[in-house]
Chains A and B, each alone.
Chain A
Amino acid sequence: MVAQRLALTLVLVWLGAGAAAAADVANGRQIVLHGNGHGATPCVACHGADGAGIADVAYPRLAGQQAAYLRKQLHDFRNGLRNSEVMQLFAKALSGAEIRDVAAYYAAQPAHGTHEIADRALIGAGRQLAERSDWDRNLPPCFSCHGPRGVGVGGDFPLLAGQHAQYIEKQLLAWKRGTRDNDPDQLMKTVAQRLGEPDIKGVAAYFASLNPAPAQRITLNDSRPAGGPR
């Protein structure tokens, strides 16, 4: 009897541990819509319930973004490794578990975009750079890390297809100027520094013009844990 109870307890503890490790999308939704009740305001105000963001003010689209990438960014905001007054305040008010849940919620939203149509020539130039690039400037194509059409790879190379041009532009400029530097091994920074402003406008317009591919990502290697060493 005692042995049975012990076994049952062990099973329950094991199940509990499993549940603790898995993300709670419903709780993520709760925080997104209503905040967490102790300092984190609802995400919905800027990113929308569907994770669409707001193009004009460069609030990023989060729908369909890799959960591991979102987790890392929230941890980086929390730890002051990525700048943004608003996001730092928000992230500091979230627990690790809440970060995991919010990230899982937005990752699970369908990555449909309103693919933004800009100047065709600009999009064409951006596509050239994204797909083929300019090796004479030691610029690898965006696709070589972010995947074909910028569908995202693992937790370190985010989905770009369908992201707002204003946001991509703002981030690339931040890397170029050194105000954003939370990329692993300075992989993005070194590339951004070699991009001219017309290049940046081009790739931003190109990725924004893409309808994000259905979330079909297989990761052979889950990347380093969120919030771990950069």
Chain B
Amino acid sequence: MSGCRTGGLRRRLAWVAAAVAGLAALPHSAAAGTAAGFVPPAESQMPGGSRGRLIRLGEQLFVHSSALRGKYVGNGLSCNDCHLGRGRHADAAPMWAAYAAYPASLGPAQRADRLAGRIQACFVFSMNGTAPPKHSRAVRALVAYARWLATGAPAGVSLPGRGYPNLPPPSAGPDPARGKKVYADKCAICHGRDGAGQRAGTAIVFPPLWGKDSFNWGGGMHRIDTAAAFIKANMPLGQPNSLSDRQAWDVAAYMDRHERPQDPRYAGDLEDTRRSFHDHDCLYGRSVDGRRLGAHASGKPYDPWQLR
């Protein structure tokens, strides 16, 4: 029974982490197109020894997160899919900026602990899996990698290039019907007409944007504003800022009209989950084409720790 209690505690901790996560996932407010001044260390500067091995493992898990599939990862995504360039690329939620933002007053151990909690939340939401323990090798490796990327960065500073550049919404609101056309013209070639992504052998090359293999309704990217900001600054790959603001918003709104794995905080009442956790720009719990998004797991007791 103590296991249940521990589970409950872990769950509560996770929601605290998730609350922090929600804040961190907000697009930052710096002007779009800001050149990031910070440059993470080159790969050749990676230290040796056991710390180097841990950092290297962190980088590998970051890029090939499917290595943890079935254990901590419950979908077809990798960290690298949203944090482009192995977590280095400015305006694509770089890991050096995420770490730098934790207050200096906390001290290195507390700052690392905050980041570890944030990474756990990523596993629960964006990776639609379960949180590896804070002191697991997986979390320690990912933290070590992020901290190494932030070598030389000031503490407690929101560095230029953090998150995704905030994108003001179109005055009339986004139009998913226009977004559908943007998707067909610009996105489907890689992500597939059904949003399921594409593979080469068993390796997922183009990440699934919705459906069972994508991030769940708690993942930061399910927010239309966050997705629009990411898309504008980074998509199509290799053509950043090529879509108009309007196109980015429209296609983000279109993406949000599709079903995805349940929000792990769902406890049986969709409206309740929406009220408690979705007071932001998203379609969770809303009716789309006569069906309520997120209603697919109704009536089923949900254990976020066994979400697959």
Tell whether A and B belong to one assembly: yes
- Find residues 22-44 in chain A having any chain B CB closer than 8 Å to their own CB: none
**Residue from the list A147, A184, A223 in contact with B200, Cβ < 8 A:** A147
B201 touches A218 (CB 8 A): yes
A153 touches B239 (CB 8 A): no
- Find residues 166-204 in chain B having any chain A CB closer than 8 Å to their own CB: 185-186, 188-190, 192-194, 196-203
The contact string, 1 if C-beta is below 8 Å from chain B, for chain A 136-167, is: 00111001110110011110110000000000
- Residues of chain A within 8 A (CB-CB) of B201 are 147, 151, 213, 216-218
Given contacts A135-B85, A135-B88, contact A218 B202 (CB under 8 A): yes
A185 touches B185 (CB 8 A): yes
B205 touches A147 (CB 8 A): yes
- Residues of chain B within 8 A (CB-CB) of A187 are 189, 236-239
A88 is an interface residue with CB less than 8 A from chain B: no
B238 touches A140 (CB 8 A): yes
A190 touches B202 (CB 8 A): no
Q: How large is the interface on A (under 10, 10 to 19, 20 to 34, 35 or more residues)?
A: 20 to 34
Interface centre among A145, A219, A220 (most CB of B within 10 A): A220
A145 touches B197 (CB 8 A): no
**Residue from the list A132, A138, A148, A156 in contact with B238, Cβ < 8 A:** A138
- Determine the residue in chain B with the shortest Cβ distance to A138: B240
Q: Please report the C-alpha to C-alpha distance between residue A133 and residue B238 in the assembled complex, in whole angstroms.
A: 11
B189 touches A190 (CB 8 A): no
B197 touches A148 (CB 8 A): no
Nearest CB of chain B from residue A64's CB, rounded to whole Å? 13
A81 is an interface residue with CB less than 8 A from chain B: no
Q: Please report the C-alpha to C-alpha distance between residue A153 and residue B188 in the assembled complex, in whole angstroms.
A: 13
- Determine the residue in chain B with the shortest Cβ distance to A152: B200
**Residue from the list A156, A184, A220 in contact with B196, Cβ < 8 A:** A220
**Residue from the list A147, A153, A221 in contact with B193, Cβ < 8 A:** A221
Given contacts A138-B240, A221-B194, contact A185 B200 (CB under 8 A): no
A191 is an interface residue with CB less than 8 A from chain B: yes
- Determine the residue in chain A with the shortest Cβ distance to B64: A148
The contact string, 1 if C-beta is below 8 Å from chain A, for chain B 32-58, is: 000000000001000000000000000
- Grouping DSSP codes into helix (H, G, I), strand (E, B) and loop, the A interface class, with mixed when no group exceeds half, is loop
Given contacts A138-B240, A190-B239, A218-B202, contact A185 B189 (CB under 8 A): yes
The contact string, 1 if C-beta is below 8 Å from chain A, for chain B 200-223, is: 111101100000000000000000
Q: How large is the interface on B (under 10, 10 to 19, 20 to 34, 35 or more residues)?
A: 20 to 34
- Determine the residue in chain A with the shortest Cβ distance to B196: A220
Q: Please report the C-alpha to C-alpha distance between residue A186 and residue B89 in the assembled complex, in whole angstroms.
A: 22
Q: Please report the C-alpha to C-alpha distance between residue A138 and residue B36 in the assembled complex, in whole angstroms.
A: 13
B203 touches A144 (CB 8 A): no
B84 is an interface residue with CB less than 8 A from chain A: yes
Nearest CB of chain A from residue B217's CB, rounded to whole Å? 22
The contact string, 1 if C-beta is below 8 Å from chain B, for chain A 179-219, is: 00000111100110000000000000000000001001111
- Residues of chain B within 8 A (CB-CB) of A157 are 205
- Residues of chain B within 8 A (CB-CB) of A133 are 85
Nearest CB of chain A from residue B17's CB, rounded to whole Å? 28
Interface centre among B189, B194, B237, B238 (most CB of A within 10 A): B238
Q: Please report the C-alpha to C-alpha distance between residue A192 and residue B238 in the assembled complex, in whole angstroms.
A: 10
B238 touches A190 (CB 8 A): yes
B257 is an interface residue with CB less than 8 A from chain A: no
B140 is an interface residue with CB less than 8 A from chain A: no
Given contacts A133-B85, A144-B205, A153-B199, contact A191 B193 (CB under 8 A): no
Nearest CB of chain B from residue A129's CB, rounded to whole Å? 13
- Measured CB to CB, the residues of B under 8 A from A are 43, 84-86, 88-89, 92, 185-186, 188-190, 192-194, 196-203, 205-206, 236-240
**17 A-B contact pairs sorted by A residue (CB < 8 Å):** A132-B85, A133-B85, A140-B237, A140-B238, A147-B203, A151-B200, A153-B199, A153-B205, A157-B205, A185-B185, A185-B186, A219-B198, A220-B198, A220-B199, A221-B188, A221-B194, A224-B189
Q: Known contacts A135-B88, A153-B200; can you find 13 more A-B pairs with CB under 8 A?
A: A132-B86, A140-B238, A144-B237, A148-B200, A153-B205, A185-B189, A190-B238, A213-B201, A217-B200, A217-B201, A218-B202, A221-B188, A224-B189
- Measured CB to CB, the residues of A under 8 A from B are 132-133, 135, 138-140, 143-145, 147-148, 151-154, 156-157, 184-187, 190-191, 213, 216-221, 223-224
